Amino acid sequence: MSAIFDRIAAIGVVPVIAIEKADYAVPLADALLEGGLAAAEITFRTAAAAEVMAILRDKRPELLTGAGTVLTTEQVARAVDCGAAFALAPGFDPTIVDAAAGAGLAFAPGVMTPSDITLAAARSCRLMKFFPAVPAGGPHMLKNINAPFAHLGLRFIPTGGVTLDTMKDWLALPEIAAVGGTWIAKAEDMRSGDWSGIAAKARAAVARAREIRG
């Protein structure tokens, strides 16, 4: 893994956030940082994503901010322009992997099958996003499909259906770098301005990761 992903692995959890308004960027960052969660994945699922990442780069550089749901090479370029430190995708596309490598952007493609892992590993990817984690079979499935690749030292960030209560099932596996947490900062929380609630969920997630990993 790159040094960027090492930092995420040290935290154990990265919030996956679909943020609807740029005005939410700073209060969101402050809530996450207050909760001790110094990383965030801002997904390209909303029109505000690029602007939010640029704001966080300029105003909250202490938050390790990455781009999520990267589906095109154009989004790779936008992520870099907006100061994203890392990027993840829901699937594997060799052109996107190559574009990220060419841009010097730490990148984790999405995988769900042994074939996906084979293709990603052939492109020198050593960190991958297991998505959708729970519908794809959960920790037991990931452990089994990764078994033939264990000698490669691959690591994963499972995202999709992971919760505070199930973090232990994932983080107990040595191949898990961190979990993706969609529950930490939901759209409705940001709409209602529940920044204290987001901070509390961030704090609980960080504490749980530390408890699990000792």
CB 111 within 8 A of CB 136: no
Q: Is the pLDDT of residue 2 over 90?
A: no
Q: What is the pLDDT of residue 13?
A: 98
pLDDT in tens, 47-86: 999 999 999 999 999 999 999 999 999 999 999 999 999 9
Kindly list the catalytic residues: 41, 129
pLDDT in tens, 131-169: 999 999 999 999 999 999 999 999 999 999 999 999 999
What mean pLDDT comes out for the span 21-42?
98
Q: What is the pLDDT of residue 161?
A: 97
Q: Over the chain, what is the mean pLDDT?
A: 97
